[in-house]
Amino acid sequence: MSGDLKWNKIMGAGLGTAFVILVVQQVSGMVYHTKTPEKMGYFVDAPDEAAGGAEVVLPTDWGTVLPTADIAAGQAAFARCQACHTISNGGADGIGPNLWHVVGGPVMHRAGFAYSDAMAKHKAEAPTWGYDELDHFITAPNRYVSGTKMSFAGIRDTQVRINLIAYLRSQGSDGYAIPAPDPARQPGAAEEAAPAEAAAEGAAATEPTAAPAEGAAATADVQATPPAA
Ligand code: HEC
């Protein structure tokens, strides 16, 4: 009798153990199965990142975007630079050099300013602050001019940089020509450029009624230049 009971206990324990093993297998199976889609999700992400990279590499078609840039918005964006830079004609150098007439001018354009060795090295490779060079620098200063003493993280939003560069140009560099629209910069950018342009046009359309006369006049200035193109 007691022997039967013992066997019952042993059988029970055995069944219990088997049950636990089954549960563990099920659970680990679930874990295994949830892991698989995670990995797939990771691989699906990779092409997205590649596409994002392609957008960044694509050069901006200045001839298309500058004439419709929002200079007033660019002036507002310049607030981030003002901690270190003045831009008025004859303005003093601060932590950074005065930026009047910097667009299209020589790198290290202020004779009295103590630039870094990194900037001197950059000047040897790219002596002029053309639109592309400024754009690269403002996107990520320390990535473009490694070791620069301009401690500023950079501006990743392309439209903000376009507006900002249009504003910088309006400060003493109106004479620096806007290049003709460049089809070579457009094909891959077709979907990219269209919304940006539409947004800029929308801003321009609302500007004459909404913005003060000064902003409208500045826009007229920039738009007066490109007809040559
Ligand atoms: C924290 C201070 C700081 C901020 C903020 C800053 N800069 Fe600078 N900037 C500097 C310094 C310092 C230099 C000189 C860099 C060097 O010598 O390596 C410089 C250099 C430059 C130059 C090169 C000038 C020349 O003569 O070659 C340009 C263009 C420029 N800055 C634009 C900007 C713009 C546009 C912004 C805002 C988006 C900005 N900076 C924000 C400190 C700053």
Pocket of ligand 1 (CB under 6 A): 80-81, 83-85, 95-97, 99, 102, 107-110, 115-116, 118-119, 129, 134, 138, 148-152, 155
Q: Which of 71, 75, 78, 85 to mutate to test the pocket of ligand 1 (most atoms within 8 A of CB)?
A: 85
- Among the atoms of ligand 1, which is closest to the Cα of residue 82? 5
Would the pTM count as exceeding 0.85? no
Quote the CA–CA distance of 125 and 138 in Å, as a whole number.
17
Quote the CA–CA distance of 68 and 139 in Å, as a whole number.
20
The answer to whether 59 and 186 have CB atoms below 8 angstroms apart is no
Distances (CA, A) of 201 to 60, 64, 178, 195, 198: 17, 11, 18, 10, 5
**119-156 pLDDT, tens per residue?**
999 999 999 999 999 999 999 999 999 999 999 999 99
CATH number, domain 62-228? 1.10.760.10
**45-89 pLDDT, tens per residue?**
334 444 444 444 579 999 999 999 999 999 999 999 999 999 999
The answer to whether 229 and 178 have CB atoms below 8 angstroms apart is yes
| Structure tokens that stand for 123 in this block | 């000047």
Residue 145 CA to ligand 1 centre (angstroms): 11
Domain limits of the chain?
A: 1-57, 62-228
